[in-house]
């Protein structure tokens, strides 16, 4: 009869849970876990500058981060930084960088050893025990090519990082150019509005005189045509201004109706001697640096492909026992004989990739230097045009002042005064257009020389799975 007292004399069974729990916990801790990331259900556009990300990170830990203002007027450079911080397309940088990092982790990881084990159960015959075999092997060829493969993976990651910085530069540059265009077009709309008002007043006066039989309809026709042209020019300017605002709002992640003040673009100062900047351009321009790092990765891949011509080799110990319980152990070698394939295709592909990147780097370097030369010539021409336009505008204003005095003394009629006013408006518009084109070209040569924008990525690296759904 079984009793609790008798059971105490039985040996206690070992606690197997403690033996497998820790190894299982270690294995599970090193594995990735699935986490859902549902899509958002509505747009995430901000309604004002205050709702945007405005803190510009700094690389110096002792320096305070720069906070962009939430109300205008904003400078052209501030608009560019704001676009880099908030452009919806740049929000994908986190995922792109993680992909590049994953590729680097895979490329720099050591190859895993291979463990083999087999058991043959004894079903009959004179034998006494089952047979089994165990082996542990390591791919030697992957170890031989490890250094160049790891170097290529690290260079590719650095190239991806530089390419992401170049994407930030392109967004910031686009926003700066849009800000310059908006400022110039806003002035154009104001001048064209005043010009149209002057022409409408003149047309009303001529129409009134025609009704009084002091003028004929032939006098009214040219002014009516001028009014129609002015209305068309004003409508075109207003549409261009609206489209520029919509493009800038899209870069900033704002609703398309948001407006803010943009300050007058300041003069872009460029060094007199551009030769040193051109010489150091490959170390400063992110796109050239990305191509250079990509070429370094391709060069390391050529090294790896050449080393991969070594026959595939795996080496390791093996142990076994047969059905008569005879045990044996020794080394195990697996060697692929390179009779037909000795990675000649891989070597050719790697060399072709390197040659392609070499040509692309040289072409981009040539294009950049040529672009700088062309912009230097354009800037010189625009500076001359702007000086002439400023002088012409000043003369037009002087003549307008004389015309106003003559009109007040009844020495000039309404039509003559309107002509002087229209001429002054047109000269002012010429000055605005030349100034806008000059500032745009100066900003363009800045980015071509690798100047004017942050040298490190500043887009907030926010994991979309942890980011709030709405601003």
Helix (H) or strand (E) holding 316: strand 313-321
pLDDT tens by residue, 203-259: 888 788 777 777 666 777 788 888 999 999 999 999 999 999 999 999 999 999 999
Percent of the chain predicted with pLDDT > 90: 45
- Confidence band (pLDDT; 50, 70, 90) for 161? very high
3-state secondary structure 359-404: HHHHHHHHHHHHHHHHHHHHHHHHHHHHHHHHHHHHHHHHHHHHHH
pLDDT confidence of residue 354: 95
Q: Would you tell me how many other CB atoms lie within 10 Å of the CB of residue 37?
A: 8
177 burial level (CB within 10 Å; 0-12, 13-18, 19+): buried
How far is residue 134 from each of residues 118, 164, 315, 334, 363, measured CA to CA in Å? 6, 49, 14, 15, 57
86 near 111, Cβ under 8 Å?
A: no
Which range has the top average pLDDT, 25-34, 90-99, 260-269? 260-269
Helix (H) or strand (E) holding 134: strand 131-139
Q: Is the pLDDT of residue 14 over 70?
A: no
- 145-148 contact pairs (CB < 8 A, 24+): 145/304, 145/307, 145/308, 146/110, 146/111, 148/300, 148/301, 148/303, 148/304, 148/307
Question: For residues 97 and 83, what is the distance between their CA atoms, to the nearest angstrom?
Answer: 19
pLDDT confidence of residue 260: 93
pLDDT tens by residue, 74-89: 999 999 999 999 999 9
pLDDT tens by residue, 387-408: 999 999 999 999 999 998 998 8
Comparing 99-108, 249-258, 295-304, the range with the smallest average pLDDT is 99-108
Residue range 96-120: mean pLDDT, rounded: 88
303 near 376, Cβ under 8 Å?
A: no
Question: For residues 282 and 270, what is the distance between their CA atoms, to the nearest angstrom?
Answer: 19
Backbone φ, ψ for residue 316 (5° rounding): 175, 170
pLDDT confidence of residue 216: 67
pLDDT top residue among 34 and 375:
375
Q: Which DSSP symbol is given to 46? A: B
pLDDT confidence of residue 460: 73
The CA-based angle 82-84-90, given to 5 degrees, is 135
pLDDT confidence of residue 1: 43
Q: Is the pLDDT of residue 333 over 60?
A: yes
pLDDT tens by residue, 335-380: 888 888 888 898 999 999 999 999 999 999 999 999 999 999 999 9
Q: Is the pLDDT of residue 3 over 70?
A: no
- Confidence band (pLDDT; 50, 70, 90) for 26? low
pLDDT confidence of residue 274: 87
DSSP sequence for 63-88: SPPEE--SSSPBPHHHHHHHHHHH-T
If we measure between CA atoms, which residue out of 154, 363, 236, 323 comes closest to residue 244? 236
pLDDT confidence of residue 431: 95
How far is residue 181 from each of residues 178, 386, 432, 436, 441, measured CA to CA in Å? 5, 16, 10, 7, 12
DSSP sequence for 141-156: HHHHTHHHHHHHHHHH
Q: Which DSSP symbol is given to 254? A: B
Question: For residues 423 and 187, what is the distance between their CA atoms, to the nearest angstrom?
Answer: 16
If we measure between CA atoms, which residue out of 111, 107, 88 comes closest to residue 160? 107
pLDDT tens by residue, 65-74: 888 898 879 9
Residue range 134-148: mean pLDDT, rounded: 89
In the block, tokens 């390391």 appear at 300
Instruction: Determine the angle formed by the axes of helices 76-86 and 146-211, rounding to 10 degrees.
Output: 130
> 49-448: which CATH number, 1.10.10.60, 3.30.70.360, 3.40.605.10, 1.20.1600.10?
1.20.1600.10
Q: Is the pLDDT of residue 4 over 70?
A: no
Residue range 138-146: mean pLDDT, rounded: 88
The CA-based angle 345-347-348, given to 5 degrees, is 65
Which range has the top average pLDDT, 12-16, 102-106, 138-142, 376-380? 376-380
If we measure between CA atoms, which residue out of 183, 174, 77, 170 comes closest to residue 435? 183
pLDDT confidence of residue 464: 46
In the block, tokens 């990525």 appear at 457
pLDDT confidence of residue 339: 83
Q: Is the pLDDT of residue 151 over 90?
A: yes
Residue range 455-462: mean pLDDT, rounded: 74
pLDDT confidence of residue 10: 43
Q: Would you tell me how many other CB atoms lie within 10 Å of the CB of residue 468?
A: 7
pLDDT confidence of residue 436: 95
How many residues are present in the chain?
A: 471
What are the extents of the domains in the chain?
Answer: 49-448
Instruction: Determine the angle formed by the axes of helices 146-211 and 93-108, rounding to 10 degrees.
Output: 170
How far, rounded to the nearest angstrom, does the alpha carbon of residue 191 sit from its chain's CA centroid? Answer: 37
Residue range 146-170: mean pLDDT, rounded: 93
Q: Is the pLDDT of residue 183 over 90?
A: yes
pLDDT top residue among 296 and 129:
296
pLDDT tens by residue, 418-451: 888 889 999 999 999 999 999 999 999 999 999 8
Q: Which DSSP symbol is given to 412? A: S
Question: For residues 212 and 395, what is the distance between their CA atoms, to the nearest angstrom?
Answer: 36
Rg of the chain on CA atoms, in Å: 38
């Amino acid at each position: 009869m079984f009793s609790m007292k008798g059971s105490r004399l039985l040996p206690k069974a070992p606690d197997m849970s403690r033996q497998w729990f820790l190894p299982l916990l270690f294995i599970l801790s090193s594995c990735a876990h699935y986490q859902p990331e549902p899509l958002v259900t509505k747009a995430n556009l901000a309604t004002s500058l205050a709702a945007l990300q405005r803190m510009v990170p700094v690389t110096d830990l002792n320096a305070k981060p720069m906070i962009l203002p939430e109300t205008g007027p904003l400078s052209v450079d501030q608009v560019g930084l704001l676009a880099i911080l908030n452009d919806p397309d740049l929000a994908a940088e986190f995922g792109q960088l993680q992909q590049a990092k994953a590729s680097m982790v895979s490329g720099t990881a050591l190859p895993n050893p291979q463990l083999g084990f087999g058991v043959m159960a004894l079903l009959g015959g004179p034998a006494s025990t089952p047979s089994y075999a165990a082996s542990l092997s390591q791919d030697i060829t992957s170890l031989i090519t490890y250094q160049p493969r790891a170097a290529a993976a690290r260079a590719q990651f650095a190239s991806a990082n530089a390419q992401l910085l170049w994407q930030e530069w392109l967004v910031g540059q686009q926003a700066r150019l849009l800000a310059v265009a908006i400022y110039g077009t806003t002035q154009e709309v104001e001048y064209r509005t005043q010009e149209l008002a002057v022409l409408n007043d003149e047309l009303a006066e001529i129409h009134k005189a025609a009704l009084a039989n002091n003028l004929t309809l032939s006098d009214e026709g040219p002014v009516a045509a001028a009014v129609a042209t002015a209305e068309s020019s004003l409508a075109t300017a207003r549409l261009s201004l609206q489209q520029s605002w919509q493009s800038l709002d899209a870069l900033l992640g704002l609703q398309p109706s948001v407006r803010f003040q943009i300050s007058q673009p300041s003069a872009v100062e460029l060094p007199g001697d551009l030769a040193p900047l051109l010489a150091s351009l490959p170390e400063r321009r992110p796109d050239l640096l990305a191509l250079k790092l990509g070429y370094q990765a391709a060069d390391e891949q050529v090294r790896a492909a050449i080393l991969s011509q070594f026959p595939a080799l795996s080496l390791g110990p093996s142990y076994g026992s047969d059905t008569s319980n005879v045990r044996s152990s020794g080394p195990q070698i697996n060697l692929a004989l390179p009779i037909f394939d000795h990675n000649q295709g891989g070597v050719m592909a790697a060399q072709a990739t390197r040659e392609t990147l070499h040509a692309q780097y040289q072409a981009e370097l040539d294009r950049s230097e040529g672009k700088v030369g062309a912009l230097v010539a354009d800037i010189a021409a625009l500076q001359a045009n702007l000086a002439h336009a400023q002088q012409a505008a000043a003369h037009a204003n002087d003549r307008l002042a004389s015309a106003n005095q003559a009109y007040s003394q009844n020495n000039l009629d309404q039509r003559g005064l309107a002509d002087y006013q229209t001429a002054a408006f047109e000269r002012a518009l010429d000055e605005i257009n030349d100034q806008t084109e000059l500032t745009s070209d100066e900003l363009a040569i800045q980015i071509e020389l690798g100047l004017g924008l942050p040298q490190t990525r500043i887009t907030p690296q926010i994991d979309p799975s942890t980011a709030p759904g709405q601003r």
